[in-house]
Amino acid sequence: MLEQGWKCRKKEKRWRIVPACMWWTIRKERNQRCFEGKHNNIQKIKTNCLGLYYFWCKQVVIGDAENVFNIIDCN
């Protein structure tokens, strides 16, 4: 019972970093567009944001988009 409460609080804390993760992803995309002439489509931007969120939570780098969606299902 106590373990379940701990997991719930841990997930609540993870939600606090979502705005910073979104801000960082958008800022990085803006800088790429302005200074490097690179453009990503909206799906790639979303995938980058999810990958960054996972990295900040778990400190693990994700290789491709399939892994991102598998991780989302497990959390």
Q: How far is CA 45 from CA 2, 4, 23, 35, in A?
A: 38, 33, 11, 17
Q: Does 60 fall in a domain? A: yes
Q: Does 7 fall in a domain? A: no
Q: Does 50 fall in a domain? A: yes
**Domain count within the chain:** 1
Question: For residue 25, what are the domain limits?
Answer: 17-74
Q: Does 9 fall in a domain? A: no
Q: Does 61 fall in a domain? A: yes
Alpha carbons 53 and 30: distance in angstroms, whole number: 18
Q: pLDDT at residue 66 above 50?
A: yes
Q: How far is CA 13 from CA 29, 56, 65, 69, in A?
A: 26, 12, 24, 21
Q: Does 45 fall in a domain? A: yes
Q: Tens digits of per-residue pLDDT, 11-58?
A: 677 788 889 999 999 999 999 999 999 999 999 999 889 888 888 887
